[in-house]
Structure 1
Amino acid sequence: MKFPKEYLEEIKQRVKVSDIVGATVQLKRRGREFVGLSPFSKEKTPSFTINDEKGFYHCFSSGEHGNIFDFLVKVEKLNFGDAVRKLAAKAGMPVFKFTKENIEVENKRKKYDEILTIALQHYQKNFFDNEIVKKYAFDRGLTQEILSTFKIGYSGDYGLNVSLFSNFNQKELIESGIFFHDEKNNKLVDRFKNRLMFPIFDYNNKVIGFGGRALGQNYLAKYINSPETEFFKKGFNLYNLNNAKTENKQSSIVFVVEGYMDAISLYQAGFKNVVATLGTAMTESHLNLVWRYFNDPLVCFDGDRSGQNAAQKISEKLIAYMKPNYSLSFLILPNGFDPDSFIRKNGRNNFEILLDQKIDIGNFIFENNLQNLQSTQPEERAGFEKRLMDTCLLIQDSTVKKHYISFFKNRIFEQFSNKKNKNIKPLNKTKELTRKITRYSSFELKEFSLMYLFLNNFLILRNQFDKLSLINFHNKNLEELRKVLVNILEKIETFKDFNLLKHLEENNFSQIIKDINEFSSIKGISENLNDEKFDNFLNDLIEQVNNLKLQSKLNDAEESLSKNMNEAHYNELLSLKDQIVASKKV
């Protein structure tokens, strides 16, 4: 009998080719691949390559090519069955035993796939047949393209009817996770009734489960997932990995978020390298899964206390599995935001600003422990150091462990030997920056760039006085500054001995100028321009500000409509959408 395809695929998913080959061949990283001397022929120049993403090795000198199973068969001279058993043990999987039950498992798998495929098709059909649910999705900012990409559906008011699955028995339908048995009424019921449906795909684009968001108010849980089944393990799968894995040519980073809408919002904003856990804490298996495609996973959790606590627990657990050339970082959003709400309110540009505040796992653990330090008394410091050293003892890779011990000892020395820095807590710095960023809307941040352009090209502005007069800034401080600039241009005839910056600081504009310099996205590239380049920058920035203002109004209109569905709000929404479409055609 043959090993089931799914069993072999699961092993290949959990175990990297480089990990197996590296036990026999000395490997060096070259870009996204590894190279080494061929184990199949004698050579002085490495021609043997391994690609973990594609799951194969290739030897240019001998022509040998294969996967992890082939390598053990050819190099260690194992038979195929022994190779599978050895790799299954390394993957932490049970040994596969060929019994008469295996055929039943294979048949169950096929029926499971068929049931979920039928469910997916009908959930999608229900969605496109229901105008109210479609409107809800569009009001949440989901585009038609995103709905198609993620195959989002709707379960229906009462869920799917069992009659759609006439070829399957009750036991098979319950084991699929789609239905449960209502003992009171002695019938099968779709567990996802009246929910927006998010199909979950494995890395091969096969549907393996569902998540559902309640659309009514009388539900105990806003989100529910398919239960764990024989073929759906939440600890070994990630939402959107099937799409995200192809993005590793563009970036080594992958965002790891908690919710479906977090992943979808980031994806729609252009961050397609995003995956979500399935209602469970991030595990070692999750980490190895994303490391297969990306070297730098970035855990991006909610800014509330529970999100911070979850991130802290993950860091303390997963540091045990850190290994050479792979990293893990963290980004905590401002309080009150998750990735979905932050992107929708503040836009892609502001999210990119936040990315500068990501913290690698070592510094993240150090700073979280530092936050809990009550005093700098010797016994407190000793306890602080012991906690960090105990954390290092968990690390499995001896080389990584050695370097983390050295890293933490250096950080401890820096923290307590420099009086100026001993009370600095970097997480507080991060919180302060994110607080300042979210204080401003996306178009206000663009307005900072516009004012930066004016302040750094004031002599040109003197000759184009009308352009400054026609602009009205939404930000009150910028508008006050604009009025002062207009007044200066009207009254001062020569700028030979005039110090503009000093004049503005004397008139209490120091803080807004500091913000302008901090938040301008054109800093360093828009200074001392000629007339033509100044006009190009100016026109482009004005267009961007206007478009962002329209988008902000659109978001407000969508929120108003969701709270009070009346004709006035609906017409306002249509008008704003028409304006946005018209602006894009210009």
Structure 2
Amino acid sequence: MTVTEEIKSRLDLVDIVSESVSLRRSGRNYAGFCPFHQNTRTPAFFVFPETQTWRCFGACAEGGDLFSFVMKKEGWEFKEALKNMAQRAGVTLEERKPVDKEKQKAQNKQAGLLQAAADYFHQLFLHAPQAEGARQYVARRSLHEETIAQFALGFALDSWDACRSHFNMQGYSDQELLAAGLLTENPDKGTKYDRFRNRLMIPIRDVDGRIVGFGARTLEKDGIPKYLNSPQTALFDKSHLLYGLDSSKRGIREARQAVIVEGYMDVMQAWQAGFRNVVAQMGTALTERQLRLLKRYTKQFVLALDADAAGAQATLRSLQVARETLDREVEVKFDARGLVHHEGRLQADIRVITLPEGKDPDNIIQENPEEWPKLVAQAKPVVAYVISVATAGLDMNDAKAKTAVAQQVLPLIKDIQDPIERDHYWQQLARTLRIDERALRQIRLPERPKRTLRREETAVTPKKTPQPSKKEHAGWATVPKKGRGGVGSIATDMRQADFLHQMIRLPNVILRVNQKLQECDQTQVTDEDFLLAEDRAIIRQMYHLIAASPVVTIDELWDSLEQTLQNRLKFLLTLPQSPETELERISDTLVLSVLDWRLAQVRQLLSEVKHLLYEAQNEGDTEALAIYQQQLRELPVAVLQLNKARDSMSATSRRRAEDALNGRF
């Protein structure tokens, strides 16, 4: 999670806007008079809580997120907005240190190495004769070619130094391979060797799609361990990652629910079957950091436990107040008390399902896909689930057994923050145990043994209740989605990141791109074209540097940015570089990219306005209705204009390519 995302996850845009704009409810959204232009007749300014975005449907025709609003309202630059909003959200900004530049450079190189390693393993999987066993294993798991490509499955040769030799020849040192987790060192002998050998390689990506490590499944019958993950590195920390989140963000938003499973294969099988809201928790107990990542896309989480992990004995063990196991290196997959704490702090809805005995999501989805959504729909709130499991098979004539169950469940109930919900479970537990609720409330719980808190638990919780944050488009697409369909935000993110990467590499290409856009009767590229606050700030700075000097270097750009923007620039520089070198061809490609993402944004907005129009009709909101009807007249015209520009640009690009092929240039 970036600093800006962390800030947006802790602040509610409705609260921020309400300080200067009088808002009223309009369906699920809020409406008011735009603070950026004179208007006292029609409240054309809307704030969308679900996506934490705003948009003016009036004269401004602008929109954006929290940062774009406060920057426009206060006249702040990005740095000022970041500092003020961070202070308000209780987020500490990382100070710029003299060594940071070298550290950033090393991390950039590590990210590039991991991407190259993923490509290397993937090509081995597809083509190496030695990978036949891996291909057969994947075929037995019924994974299709599209799924294999989507998750970039790979194969590590059964060799002690194949990976090491390959990347040594590419210019990477053993120390860099060790830092990336691709090599292992024997501390006694001082020898270094490949960490992954004869394993199916599963790249693990962060929320932005950057490869940060690997999960590797053994292909040997009795291979130990069954799954071997990358060690903790500068980029890989499994307590901060959720497998599959990069490809499931849109699905989670659409379903308004995230289903959390235990295995990589579960995620792949779910994705293949069309269930695109599934992520895996990397084998550890869910951390608040992981849930905060998910909270940007939904408030409801469903934890899918296999029958063994959810058995009564394991569940009751996880409820022990002391939780002695936390002092040791163990995998705690179901921590009921931790989940209840997370629910309260995040104002989330966490539910649990138990899968049929002997089945996991992979099996269920393969054998009977229709059964999966039914199981998910049966998920119970954490405390209700624990009560049902703890009392299953309980002898209701055994008073001591009932007391033991009460002593284990009551800490969960007492940790619930909402008083109505807490009282509900007092009553439910009393009914289930067939005892008087007053007797239940008199039970004294043993004192908690003191223990050392984990780093995850020692973080100060801000007084402000965290609110959901969604990354949405500025400009045309700043309306909440019911479902991000078609060319989703992931494709647009990638196009915009690649655009900035090319612009950083060749600063003057933006001048040619803008000229061609004008020739197509389209507006020039501005910061409002971009989704991320960081990207908007970077392109503004690029324009400033280009205006000041005909030659702009990456070092100049780097030195002109503060830490948060340097972190984003670091990521942009790790993106693959286009082999194309001719300025005309590059600018053609970038113009088409701009037109494509604008077209995707307008089409998405058109879909959303239709949905909002339907809501306004149901609510009888005549003012909102008039605004949306006007948009439905204007947006199709914008689609036609963009399509016309794209067709014209495509034809020009084809002619240039043909001329080049014929040797005319």
TM-score by length of 1: 0.60
1:284 to 277, 288, 294: 288
Give the drift of 1:384: 5.8
For 1:69 and 1:59, locate their aligned partners in 2 and report how far apart those are by CA, in whole Å.
Answer: 15
Give the drift of 1:366: 3.0
2:6 to 5, 11, 21: 11
Give the drift of 1:271: 1.6
1:199 to 187, 203, 210: 203
1:262 to 263, 266, 282: 266
Q: 1:100 is paired with a residue of what secondary structure?
A: coil
Name the counterpart of 1:125.
123
For 1:188 and 1:86, locate their aligned partners in 2 and report how far apart those are by CA, in whole Å.
Answer: 48
Name the counterpart of 2:562.
none
The alignment status of 1:295 with 2:299, answered yes or no, reads: yes
Contact 1:35/1:46, CA 8 A, preserved across alignment: no
The alignment status of 1:109 with 2:107, answered yes or no, reads: yes
1:96 to 94, 97, 121: 94
Mean CA deviation greater in 259-268 or 246-255: 246-255
Distance 1:392 1:86, change over 3 A: farther
The alignment status of 1:409 with 2:426, answered yes or no, reads: yes
Residue type of the alignment partner of 2:426: K
For 2:75 and 2:102, locate their aligned partners in 1 and report how far apart those are by CA, in whole Å.
Answer: 32
2:229 to 222, 225, 231: 225
Name the counterpart of 1:160.
163
- Deviation track 1:345-380 (CA, whole Å, cap 9, x = no partner) reads x32133344345321224213323434966468887
Distance 1:220 1:374, change over 3 A: same
Residue type of the alignment partner of 1:58: R
For 1:364 and 1:23, locate their aligned partners in 2 and report how far apart those are by CA, in whole Å.
Answer: 39
Name the counterpart of 1:350.
371
Q: 2:122 is paired with a residue of what secondary structure?
A: helix
Contact 2:45/2:54, CA 8 A, preserved across alignment: no
Distance 1:82 1:236, change over 3 A: farther
Contact 1:162/1:188, CA 8 A, preserved across alignment: no
For 1:180 and 1:379, locate their aligned partners in 2 and report how far apart those are by CA, in whole Å.
Answer: 52
Give the drift of 1:20: 7.0
Give the drift of 1:283: 1.4
Contact 2:245/2:279, CA 8 A, preserved across alignment: yes
Unaligned runs of 5+ in 2: 320-333, 437-665
For 1:255 and 1:21, locate their aligned partners in 2 and report how far apart those are by CA, in whole Å.
Answer: 31
Q: 1:196 is paired with a residue of what secondary structure?
A: strand
For 1:411 and 1:156, locate their aligned partners in 2 and report how far apart those are by CA, in whole Å.
Answer: 56
Name the counterpart of 2:343.
322
Distance 1:192 1:14, change over 3 A: farther
Distance 1:380 1:212, change over 3 A: closer
The alignment status of 1:333 with 2:355, answered yes or no, reads: yes
- Deviation track 1:441-461 (CA, whole Å, cap 9, x = no partner) reads xxxxxxxxxxxxxxxxxxxxx
Distance 1:10 1:326, change over 3 A: closer
Distance 1:48 1:193, change over 3 A: same
Unaligned runs of 5+ in 1: 1-5, 420-586
Give the drift of 1:296: 2.5
Give the drift of 1:197: 0.7
Contact 1:18/1:34, CA 8 A, preserved across alignment: no
Name the counterpart of 1:151.
152
For 1:348 and 1:253, locate their aligned partners in 2 and report how far apart those are by CA, in whole Å.
Answer: 18
Give the drift of 1:8: 3.4
**Structural mapping, 1:493-504, within 5 Å:** none
Q: 1:247 is paired with a residue of what secondary structure?
A: helix
Contact 2:133/2:219, CA 8 A, preserved across alignment: no
For 2:18 and 2:335, locate their aligned partners in 1 and report how far apart those are by CA, in whole Å.
Answer: 29
Residue type of the alignment partner of 2:117: A
For 1:75 and 1:410, locate their aligned partners in 2 and report how far apart those are by CA, in whole Å.
Answer: 50
Name the counterpart of 1:135.
136
Residue type of the alignment partner of 1:349: E
Number of residues of Structure 1 aligned to a counterpart in Structure 2:
407
Distance 1:60 1:190, change over 3 A: farther
For 1:256 and 1:188, locate their aligned partners in 2 and report how far apart those are by CA, in whole Å.
Answer: 36
Q: 1:211 is paired with a residue of what secondary structure?
A: strand
Residue type of the alignment partner of 2:100: N
Name the counterpart of 1:367.
388
Give the drift of 1:343: 3.2
Contact 1:155/1:195, CA 8 A, preserved across alignment: yes
Distance 1:228 1:411, change over 3 A: same
Name the counterpart of 2:478.
none
Contact 2:33/2:43, CA 8 A, preserved across alignment: no
Distance 1:110 1:28, change over 3 A: farther
For 2:356 and 2:141, locate their aligned partners in 1 and report how far apart those are by CA, in whole Å.
Answer: 21
Name the counterpart of 1:3.
none
The alignment status of 1:35 with 2:35, answered yes or no, reads: no
For 2:122 and 2:166, locate their aligned partners in 1 and report how far apart those are by CA, in whole Å.
Answer: 17
For 2:425 and 2:292, locate their aligned partners in 1 and report how far apart those are by CA, in whole Å.
Answer: 25
TM-score by length of 2: 0.53
For 1:76 and 1:381, locate their aligned partners in 2 and report how far apart those are by CA, in whole Å.
Answer: 61
- Deviation track 1:151-199 (CA, whole Å, cap 9, x = no partner) reads 1111111251334244333332211122222456644322111110111
Larger CA Rg, structure 1 vs 2: 1
**Structural mapping, 1:488-527, within 5 Å:** none
Sequence identity, in percent? 25
For 1:251 and 1:375, locate their aligned partners in 2 and report how far apart those are by CA, in whole Å.
Answer: 40
Give the drift of 1:95: 3.8
For 2:23 and 2:156, locate their aligned partners in 1 and report how far apart those are by CA, in whole Å.
Answer: 50
**Superposition RMSD in Å:** 3.9
